[in-house]
Chain A
Amino acid sequence: MNKRSFGVLAPVVLWLSFFMVIPMLAVIFVSFMQRDNLGNIVWTFSLDNYARFFEPLYLGIYWDTIWLSVLTTVFCLLLSYPLAYYMTTLGPKAQKFWLIGITVPFWINFLIRTYAWIILLRTQGVVNSLLMDIGLISEPLQMLYTQGAVLLGMVYTFIPYMVLPIYVSLEQMDKRLLEASSDLGASRWRSFWHITLPQTKSGMMTGSVLVFVTTTGMFVVADILGGAKSQMISNIIQNQFLGARDWPFGSALSVIFVISSLVIIGLFNRALRSSYDSSKEAKA
């Protein structure tokens, strides 16, 4: 590399080192520190923050978070796959139209998309008044500020994240295999189950990792639709930094959050690779 291109690259490398790498290292460092009563960081080494994570309260919240993320991922997968599949059966023009339709929500602020559900779900909201108008219920239902509302908001937010990777893998799959299997007399369902589904595993995996990890870090949906009742690990982290002012504990929770995300991504990748290897073996 010559001197000039080094000069062109240096500002970006410096910027990202200073504002991305160093802060990340600082989080790890602070997670081993303590704090005083005023919320200042005390620079003495301790493992207390990590020990505190294993208190039943935090373990419980962590478990709830994982469970909510799993449910969100499964619902997104079940709802998105048929839509992605449907898109690939359309002609090029219609396909492009649907693709734009599924991309636009990415660019509508998730805060706004979450807020929309308050209009729908609150006690005097659209859903309650509709149900009362048609006489299905006589009293408004409590839908907002429940766990169900949080799950709904999460699924709603992340469906596009799931549709796109699945759509891409459906588009890229080898369609000659389907013709071959139908020529050999396999039913459509059988072809789907034995050819399409295995071939689109990578898309489903990518979508699942994306949805799972993003759900875990999304404190806003739980905050807005779940009220005080619903706490996710990301709500606790956010509160340690902006409310309770226990930065070392918040940092420790962040480190745990990142490590567990990496472990989950690793597990997904491993499952994907082993299934890929076994399919290669089957072919050979």
Chain B
Amino acid sequence: MKTAQASKRHPWLSIHSFLLMAFIYIPVLLIIVFSFNDSRMSTSWSGFTWKWYSTLFDNRTVMEALSNSLTIAFTSTIISTVLGTMAALAIRKMQNRGKQGVIGLLYMPIVVPDIIMGLSLLILFSQLKMDLGKMTVIIAHITFSISYVYVIVSSRLANMGKQLEEAANDLGASSWQTFRFVTLPSIWPGVIAGALIAFTLSIDDFMISFFVSGPNSTTLPIYIYGSVKRGISPEINALCTIMIVVSVMLIILAQWLLGRGKSDKEKGGSLLPF
């Protein structure tokens, strides 16, 4: 079988694929490389340095943006994880026609383009006379994170089946006991993975935050956007590198949590943002 597969592979196909992968990764790797470059000009290599990282930590605006991003991410993650998990649990019990409607509602934040979600929330907040700030950004992040937590937790619930809970029920466990000692332990990895995704989405979000943040709630992506429009700098390279490393690590962790106990095939690509 293996030889049959290999014979299907034309050399040009391999060359194309390797070049395309290089095309995808080289620009990102350049940011990382230049964040350690001694020279201010990101053109040629002139020696290794950590200095851009240390100037980053002395930069008050960056530290403020970092603290805003973390506050927003932690708050929105906790609330959206609770709400999304509750939704997944409740929807599983539903049988009536309302089920499709509720699922449709939960998919809305994933389907609606970011720009539309951002500006529609801006309209809402301004009509409610709410000042734009951390609060409005947190609300916006909860709104889109709920959906992703729901999707992840409900797929975990679907995999788990109902036999265990039915057994607990038959043995006389109350519905709270069943939830606490049977359901919750089995979906726990999914809940944590959902929370990690929600956290990453919040830390990374630019489009929606851009519409609903105020002068005192600049997040890291909004700061990066502002600096990028003014040109390139090694400090921004360092900041981008940190963000790349953190997001990728969080996602690997979430993927690992979800992948435990699943076959190899199911593991791949289960954390797609759509």
Name A residues whose Cβ lies closer than 8 Å to a Cβ of B. Answer: 1, 4-6, 8-9, 11-13, 15-17, 19-24, 26-27, 30, 79-80, 82-83, 85-87, 89-92, 95-96, 98-120, 122, 124-126, 129, 156, 159-161, 164, 168, 188, 210, 213-214, 216-217, 219-220, 223-224, 234, 237-238, 241-242, 247, 250-251, 254, 257-258, 261
Q: Which of A21, A116, A214 contacts B30 (CB 8 A)?
A: A116
Decide: A103 near B271, CB < 8 A? Known: A16-B106, A109-B243. Answer: yes
In the complex, what distance in Å separates the CA atom of A283 from the CA atom of B109? 40
Q: Which secondary structure dominates where chain B touches chain A?
A: helix
A217, B105: Cβ atoms under 8 Å? no
A108, B244: Cβ atoms under 8 Å? yes
Interface status of B119 (Cβ within 8 A of chain A) = yes
Interface status of B108 (Cβ within 8 A of chain A) = yes
Chain B interface residue count, Cβ-Cβ cutoff 8 angstroms: 89
In the complex, what distance in Å separates the CA atom of A1 from the CA atom of B23? 52
In the complex, what distance in Å separates the CA atom of A99 from the CA atom of B273? 14
Chain B contacts of A98 at CB under 8 A? 17, 21
The residues in B between 221 and 264 inclusive whose CB is less than 8 angstroms from any CB of A are: 221, 224-225, 228-229, 231-232, 236-237, 240, 243-244, 247-248, 251, 264
Listed residue (A99, A102, A111) with the most chain B CB atoms within 10 angstroms of its CB: A111
Q: List 15 A-B contacts (CB under 8 A).
A: A1-B96, A8-B87, A9-B86, A16-B106, A19-B121, A26-B123, A30-B123, A82-B20, A92-B264, A106-B271, A119-B30, A120-B30, A238-B115, A251-B123, A254-B115
In the complex, what distance in Å separates the CA atom of A5 from the CA atom of B25? 47
In the complex, what distance in Å separates the CA atom of A183 from the CA atom of B147? 48
Q: Which of B109, B115, B122 contacts A20 (CB 8 A)?
A: B109
Q: Which of A23, A102, A114 contacts B124 (CB 8 A)?
A: A23
Interface status of B36 (Cβ within 8 A of chain A) = no
Q: Which of A120, A254, A261 contacts B27 (CB 8 A)?
A: A120
A241, B124: Cβ atoms under 8 Å? no
| Binding stretch for chain A, among B54-62, B154-162, B164-172, B200-208 | B200-208
A106, B96: Cβ atoms under 8 Å? no
Interface status of B91 (Cβ within 8 A of chain A) = yes
**How far does the Cβ of A76 sit from chain B's closest Cβ, in whole Å?**
11
Q: Which of B16, B105, B113, B200 contacts A21 (CB 8 A)?
A: B105
Given A16-B108, A26-B127: 5 more A-B contacts, CB < 8 Å: A19-B139, A112-B224, A113-B28, A115-B240, A217-B116
Q: Which of B17, B90, B237 contacts A8 (CB 8 A)?
A: B90
Chain B contacts of A27 at CB under 8 A? 116, 119-120, 123
Nearest B residue to A241 via CB reads: B119
A111, B221: Cβ atoms under 8 Å? yes
Decide: A224 near B113, CB < 8 A? Known: A23-B120, A115-B240. Answer: no
Q: Which of B23, B43, B236 contacts A126 (CB 8 A)?
A: B43
Q: Which of B102, B113, B251 contacts A9 (CB 8 A)?
A: B102
Chain B contacts of A257 at CB under 8 A? 113, 116
**How far does the Cβ of A111 sit from chain B's closest Cβ, in whole Å?**
5
Q: Which of A89, A113, A168, A234 contacts B9 (CB 8 A)?
A: A89
Q: Which secondary structure dominates where chain A touches chain B?
A: helix
B31, A112: Cβ atoms under 8 Å? yes
Listed residue (B105, B211, B231, B237) with the most chain A CB atoms within 10 angstroms of its CB: B105
The residues in B between 110 and 166 inclusive whose CB is less than 8 angstroms from any CB of A are: 112-117, 119-124, 127, 139-140, 142-143, 146, 150
In the complex, what distance in Å separates the CA atom of A120 from the CA atom of B271? 30
Nearest B residue to A261 via CB reads: B113
Q: Mark B192-217, 1 if CB is under 8 A from A, else 0.
A: 00000000100010110011000000
In the complex, what distance in Å separates the CA atom of A79 from the CA atom of B24? 12
In the complex, what distance in Å separates the CA atom of A247 from the CA atom of B125? 13
Interface status of B63 (Cβ within 8 A of chain A) = no
A220, B207: Cβ atoms under 8 Å? yes
B105, A115: Cβ atoms under 8 Å? no
**How far does the Cβ of B134 sit from chain A's closest Cβ, in whole Å?**
16
Interface status of B78 (Cβ within 8 A of chain A) = no
A112, B28: Cβ atoms under 8 Å? yes
Give me the 7 closest cross-chain CB pairs, A-B, nearest first. A116-B27, A23-B120, A9-B90, A217-B113, A86-B17, A12-B87, A8-B90
In the complex, what distance in Å separates the CA atom of A5 from the CA atom of B94? 8
Chain B contacts of A104 at CB under 8 A? 248, 251
Nearest A residue to B176 via CB reads: A4
Q: Which of B17, B34, B146, B236 contacts A83 (CB 8 A)?
A: B17
In the complex, what distance in Å separates the CA atom of A164 from the CA atom of B269? 8
Decide: A100 near B105, CB < 8 A? Known: A107-B200, A213-B113. Answer: no
B224, A115: Cβ atoms under 8 Å? yes
Chain B contacts of A124 at CB under 8 A? 41, 43
In the complex, what distance in Å separates the CA atom of A4 from the CA atom of B89? 11
In the complex, what distance in Å separates the CA atom of A217 from the CA atom of B118? 12
In the complex, what distance in Å separates the CA atom of A4 from the CA atom of B90? 9
Chain B contacts of A114 at CB under 8 A? 228
